[in-house]
Chains A and B, each alone.
Chain A
Amino acid sequence: MESTLDIFVKAIFTENMIFAYFLGMCSYLAVSKTVRTGVGLGLAVVFVLVVTVPMNYLLENYVLKEGALSWLNPEYGVSGSKTIDLSFLSFIMFIAVVASIVQLVEMLVEKFAPALYGALGIFLPLIAVNCSILGGALFMQDRQYSTILDATSFALGSGIGWFIAIVSLAAIREKIRYSNVPPALRGLGITFIVTGLMGIAFMSFMGVEYGKKKQEKTNTISGGAVETSQIINVKQEN
């Protein structure tokens, strides 16, 4: 079993939302033109993930999962005679929770933390349809974390991973403005390729061993490293 800390570190580096699963790419590409907006959106994502994933965790474990309603009546449990399995409803429940929490958070932040609202303001409504938030909930369901603490640390880790990704891309894009990029690649094209190269760099974290569980990933790593250097050489020649 992985420890809470393992889950946290893994979510930031090895299983980074952007570089390993491409979640939240739309806003990632659209809002990464300057570091300032990147930081704003990144913070908002961390915040909303940390609030919604535990909520959805409770929903999953006390309402949706097969037999999860046993606290109402033991008959509804997995071993009871009238087992209830509501897991087919999970998509609609998760997205409803995400959308309403985002709305609620927006109102609360506006009321009690105007400074934070000024920083996150326009990004909060965008987040309801950011794939990384729903993706966080769905991965949480898929991986069946054993405690709510694990789920929260996964959410915090994913959020921070997303934050690192968007801030570093924004910084690179600010610099790229001064480079002579081939005309057809300008803007979107070069952003895709830069993100791809950053993803390859992040793959080097795949060798990190978590806890006592040793994974045999050395092969992929060495293969990846060789090809990365080749690609970098090709780029330099160009």
Chain B
Amino acid sequence: MSNTEEKVKAPSEPLFSKKNKRLITDPLSDNNPITIQVLGICSALAITVQVEQAFWMSISVIFVMVFGNLIVSLLRNLIPSRVRIIVQLVIVASLVIIVNESLQAFVPDVSEKLSVFVGLIITNCIIMGRFEAFAMANKAWPSILDAVGNAIGYAWILLLVALVREVLGSGKIWGASIFGNNLPGEESGLYALGYVNNNMMILPPMALIVVGIIIWVQRSMNKELVEEN
């Protein structure tokens, strides 16, 4: 695979060559892990009710992915292919334990809200997918870039969905009201004019529909991504 391709190359390839830049920019839109590769949906949707949770989730995934990809890439020639899934799972699980303990120590209330979904980063398909598809066959530096690109591609969709759901669902951004006060009897701002929050946005199924709409918009803008039924 691309492993041999790398070896032929001159060793003095610049750190941010065109090819390396593509590793970061591709997953942001045309090869986005969520909307195109359909990976990592599992843990992504349940924690997009508020921007704050989505933010900490994204940070955790970026951390786990960058270090996981780096470690797998460094060990790629030592891992026997028959047991590679278990080795990869152990690497991710150790990183996730670090993340979980840090979240509990520094942002305990967020950790409470994320509950089991931090643990589920272990089985996040993006991470296993990138290990299998990229880190097992590439050197350390491209693997880090690939991890950063994919993790950010995941993070921005997550934050966008969370933003839509928090603004429309509870009229807040990061816990701060933006449309005024909606306490019954003392409404102010938009609520005084009769605006009502769309409580439906808080319900779990709406996360799926919001992602569906993002996919719709993205594919309408780039016709090449349209699928044959």
- Which residues of A are at the interface with B, using a C-beta cutoff of 8 A? 19-26, 29-30, 88-92, 94-96, 99-100, 103, 125, 128-135, 138-139, 142, 177, 181-193, 195-200, 203, 220, 223-224, 227
Contact = CB atoms under 8 A, between A and B. Distances in A.
Interface string B79-108: 000000110011001101100110000000
Contacts of B124: 131
**What size tier do the contact residues of chain B reach?**
35 or more
Contact of A189 (B45, B89, B219, B223): B219
B208 A134 contact: no
Nearest to B126: A26
A29 B101 CA distance: 32
B89 A184 contact: no
Given A91-B119, A184-B216, A224 B226 contact: no
A26 B119 contact: no
Contacts of B123: 95, 129-131, 133-135
B178 interface: no
B120 A223 contact: no
B138 to A, nearest CB: 21
B228 interface: yes
Nearest to B218: A184
Given A135-B120, A203-B205, A186 B42 contact: no
B229 A26 contact: no
Classify the secondary structure of B's interface with A. Answer: helix
A107 B96 CA distance: 29
Contacts of B215: 184-185, 188-189, 192
A131 B42 contact: yes
Given A91-B122, A135-B116, A142-B115, A196 B228 contact: no
A139 B211 contact: no
Interface stretch (B23-31, B33-41, B52-60): B33-41
Interface of B: 35, 38-46, 85-86, 89-90, 93-94, 96-97, 100-101, 115-116, 119-120, 122-125, 128, 198-200, 203-209, 211-213, 215-217, 219-220, 223, 226-229
Given A26-B41, A100-B86, A131-B120, A187 B46 contact: no
A188 B90 contact: no
Contacts of A130: 123
A48 to B, nearest CB: 13
Nearest to A20: B204
Contacts of B223: 183
B216 A22 contact: no
Nearest to A195: B208
Nearest to A193: B212
Given A25-B45, A188-B227, A223-B199, A196 B97 contact: no
Interface of A is mostly: helix
B200 A224 contact: yes
A191 B86 CA distance: 31
Contacts of B205: 19, 195-200, 203
A134 B122 contact: yes
B185 to A, nearest CB: 19
Nearest to A102: B85
A95 B93 contact: yes
Most A-side CB within 10 Å, residue of B35, B97, B122? B122
A129 B216 CA distance: 28
B40 A26 contact: yes
Given A29-B41, A197-B205, A96 B86 contact: yes
A90 B115 CA distance: 14
A186 B229 contact: yes
A190 B97 contact: no
A128 B122 CA distance: 11
A138 B120 contact: yes
Contacts of A189: 212, 215-216, 219
A22 B204 contact: yes
A186 B227 contact: yes
A96 B89 contact: yes
A235 to B, nearest CB: 11
B45 A227 contact: no
Given A92-B93, A193-B212, A99 B85 contact: yes
B178 to A, nearest CB: 22
